[in-house]
């Protein structure tokens, strides 16, 4: 098995955030890469939900004959769940998977800098926020990098790796090796808002919402037109519900603010849905009811 200890990479992966993305990252870290994983979240209920999700995910893999009971036991034994950032002190690599809000991520990085060793690499799962900007608030900007996983993480093959202005080659090499160990395909994107995937995807979703807002088509009609007309597996409004409308709005706001182009202005209907608490599948209602 390929090793990456030459880059001072330990067998312990830290993950900050026990939501859908953080849990998915932790799963591929343990089940695919074979690493010990420490998941940290300030919410004990989320940690318990994450633990339960991992166990149920393993059960589904067993039902599909992709995992045995013994492998499940091994995967779960490599997991630990924590409420304190200090429990990541021995990790050499930590991935932050918090909501797409700069100040929230910045505060997590400030805490991580205090909690981890100076040589620890800190990666953000941000899908739009500047890695260079995040690195600038730390005392180790050369060890900050973007590692944008796609949702759902155990299923989607892609990771966007984003090198900030200050990111060292060694940090990039270590990150690429971790992604390879997770059996992911890799694209390297420039540190420009939205990177590659969301620079293209979010304006597409936003325009679909604008099309609905203007009454050009119904929810079902818009999704059907794009699914059957362009052969995508999921219509844009279904996809928005799956991603989370609040996440879509945050990304569009980053694009609009940082790029300064009116074409990235969030559709008013998207803003209203988020204000109403209609966030998509996770809230039980978005463009569809769940």
Q: What is the pLDDT of residues 139-178, one digit of tens each?
A: 999 999 999 999 999 999 999 999 999 999 999 999 999 9
Domains of the chain: residue spans and CATH: 5-189 (3.40.50.720), 198-276 (1.10.1040.50)
The DSSP bridge pattern shows strands 185-189 and 12-16 to be unpaired
CA distance 251 to 100: 7
What are 216-237's pLDDT values in tens digits? 999 999 999 999 999 999 999 9
Q: What is the pLDDT of residue 10?
A: 56
Annotated catalytic residue within 127, 128, 130, 206: 127
Residue numbers belonging to the annotated binding site for NAD(+): 17-22, 41, 100, 105, 127, 151, 282
Active site residue 198: yes
CA distances from 148 to 185, 191, 213, 231, 239 (A): 12, 12, 30, 25, 18
Annotated catalytic residue within 124, 128, 148, 206: 148
Q: How confident is the model at residue 6 (pLDDT cuts 50, 70, 90)?
A: very low
Residue 69 has pLDDT above 60, yes or no: yes
pTM above 0.85, yes or no: yes
CA distance 69 to 67: 7
CA distance 252 to 254: 5
Residue numbers belonging to the annotated binding site: 17-22, 41, 100, 105, 127, 151, 282
Give me the torsion for CA of 251, 234, 179, 82, rounded to 10°: 70
CA distances from 22 to 37, 116, 147, 187, 205 (A): 11, 19, 12, 20, 24
Annotated catalytic residue within 128, 160, 206, 250: 160
Please state, for a pLDDT cut of 90, what percent of the chain lies above it.
96
Distance of CA 222 to the CA centre of its chain: 27
DSSP β-bridge partners for residue 146: 124, 162
95 or 4: whose pLDDT is higher? 95
Active site residue 127: yes
Active site residue 61: no
H or E element that contains 272: helix 268-276
Active site residue 160: yes
CA distance 18 to 49: 8
Residue 245 has pLDDT above 60, yes or no: yes
Question: Residue 5: which residues within 8 A CB-CB, separation 6 or more?
Answer: none
CA distance 70 to 91: 26
What are 9-33's pLDDT values in tens digits? 557 999 999 999 999 999 999 999 9
Q: How confident is the model at residue 192 (pLDDT cuts 50, 70, 90)?
A: very high
Annotated catalytic residue within 125, 130, 198, 206: 198
């Amino acid at each position: 098995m390929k090793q990456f200890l030459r880059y001072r990479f330990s067998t312990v992966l830290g993950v900050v955030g026990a939501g859908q993305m953080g849990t998915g990252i932790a799963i591929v870290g343990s089940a695919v890469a074979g690493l010990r994983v420490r998941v940290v979240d300030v919410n004990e209920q989320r940690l318990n939900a994450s633990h339960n999700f991992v166990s149920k995910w393993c059960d589904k893999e067993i039902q599909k004959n992709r995992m045995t009971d013994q492998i499940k036991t091994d995967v779960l034994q490599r997991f630990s769940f924590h409420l304190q950032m200090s429990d990541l002190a021995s990790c050499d690599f930590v991935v932050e998977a918090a909501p797409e809000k700069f100040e929230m991520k910045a505060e997590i990085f400030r805490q991580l800098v205090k909690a981890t060793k100076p040589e620890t690499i800190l990666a953000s799962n941000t899908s739009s926020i500047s890695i260079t900007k995040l690195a600038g608030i730390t005392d180790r900007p050369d060890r900050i990098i973007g590692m944008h996983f796609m949702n759902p993480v155990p299923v989607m093959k892609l990771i966007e790796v984003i090198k900030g202005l200050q990111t060292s080659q060694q940090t990039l090499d270590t990150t690429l090796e971790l992604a390879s160990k997770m059996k992911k395909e890799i694209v390297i994107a420039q540190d420009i808002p939205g990177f590659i995937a969301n620079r293209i995807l979010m304006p597409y979703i936003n325009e679909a919402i604008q099309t609905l807002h203007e009454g050009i088509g119904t929810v079902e009609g818009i999704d059907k037109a794009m699914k059957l007309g362009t052969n995508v597996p999921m219509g844009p409004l279904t996809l928005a519900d799956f991603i989370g409308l609040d996440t879509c709005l945050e990304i569009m706001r980053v694009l609009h603010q940082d790029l300064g182009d009116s074409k990235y202005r969030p559709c008013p209907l998207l803003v209203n849905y988020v204000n109403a608490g209609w966030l998509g599948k996770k809230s039980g209602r978005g463009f569809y009811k769940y």
